[in-house]
Amino acid sequence: MPELRIHDLKRTFASIAVMNGIDLLMVGKILGHSNFQTTMRYAHLADAPARAAADRVSGLMAGAITQSAQPVTKKLRVVG
List pLDDT tens digits, range 14-23: 889 988 888 8
Amino acid at 24: L
CA distance 15 to 17: 5
List pLDDT tens digits, range 25-68: 999 999 999 998 888 887 776 677 778 888 999 999 988 887 76
CA distance 80 to 67: 35
pTM, two decimal places:
0.55
* Mean of pLDDT values over 1-13: 85
3-state secondary structure of 79: coil
- The values of phi and psi at residue 20, to 5°, are -105, 20
